[in-house]
Amino acid sequence: MAEAGAMTEQGAMVAAVWTGALLLWLAFLLFYDGFRRPLRRDEIDAFFATLGPRMAETGNDAARLRAFLEADDGREFVMVNLVGTRAGPVSDPASGATRDGGEWLRRYSDSFVRGLIARGGHPLFVGRKVGGYIDAWNTPEDPGWSLVGTMRYRSRRDLIRVASDPAFRAAHPAKLLGIATTFSFPTQQQIAFYASPRVTVGLLLGLLAALTHIAVLTFG
């Protein structure tokens, strides 16, 4: 009888372990993928009302950004960024602080990445350039690219939430100080040969649940 009771208790603990792992994975999926609701027109209008002259001051096309937001399908996307950092020390005209262009960029990117991760996004790949154009057809001369980065956004709604975040806007001047030239464009994945966080987190939780399962049967 005692042995049967112990086995029943172990079974309940094992069931709780796997149920907990499943619930944690489902909670992660809910956070990582969100509800996939396309942006409403009033959300887009409210976002642009907060921008003021910022788009024009940085040479960006507000109409192009609006068209991208209005075509929202609610899905994730990846922003491809090419960046040329400023060489040598750069002084902030507002504070007088002087730092290397790369340091200004890091100050901006640290704040940006924190805000992105808090909204289900994250960097996919960041690398430095180690050579000139190997294959280039009908393109302008290399303006001095130094970095390439790809950033996963959970949705276009999260793009405007990141851009509207006071912490992001406070850090944005550091981006202008650290970057000499840049361009970015959004993409959606067609082929990928890597395990997404959905798979990675699921496997990690499964491993932890399996190890706990073994520990319960061994020591429980």
**Percent of the residues in the chain that have a pLDDT greater than 90, as a whole number:** 81
For residue 206, pLDDT over 90 is answered with yes
Least confident of 52-56, 80-84, 139-143, 188-192: 52-56
| pLDDT band of 74, cuts 50, 70, 90 | very high
For residue 6, pLDDT over 60 is answered with no
Q: Which residues contact 20 (CB under 8 A, 6 or more apart)?
A: 209
The answer to whether the CB of 101 falls within 8 A of the CB of 178 is yes
Written as six digits, the tokens of 84 are 């040329």
The position carrying tokens 């509207």 is 164
Mean pLDDT of 104-122: 96
Q: What local confidence, expressed as pLDDT, does residue 209 receive? A: 97
CA distance 38 to 48: 17
Helices (H) and strands (E) in the chain, counts: 8, 6
For residue 1, pLDDT over 60 is answered with no
For residue 195, pLDDT over 90 is answered with no
For residue 60, pLDDT over 90 is answered with no
Mean pLDDT of 17-37: 96
**What is the reported pTM?**
0.90
**Using CB atoms within 10 A of its CB, is residue 31 exposed (0-12), middle (13-18) or buried (19+)?**
exposed
Q: What local confidence, expressed as pLDDT, does residue 3 receive? A: 58
Q: Over the chain, what is the mean pLDDT?
A: 92
For residue 54, pLDDT over 80 is answered with no
CA distance 96 to 119: 33
- Looking at 3.30.70.100, 3.90.1200.10, 1.10.4000.10, 3.30.1330.10, the CATH number of the domain 76-187 comes to 3.30.70.100
Q: What local confidence, expressed as pLDDT, does residue 217 receive? A: 87
For residue 218, pLDDT over 70 is answered with yes
Domain ranges of the chain: 2-32+197-219, 39-72, 76-187
Mean pLDDT of 89-113: 94
For residue 201, pLDDT over 60 is answered with yes
Q: What local confidence, expressed as pLDDT, does residue 194 receive? A: 85
Q: What local confidence, expressed as pLDDT, does residue 5 receive? A: 54
Q: What local confidence, expressed as pLDDT, does residue 149 receive? A: 97
- Beta bridge partners of residue 128, listed in sequence order: 147
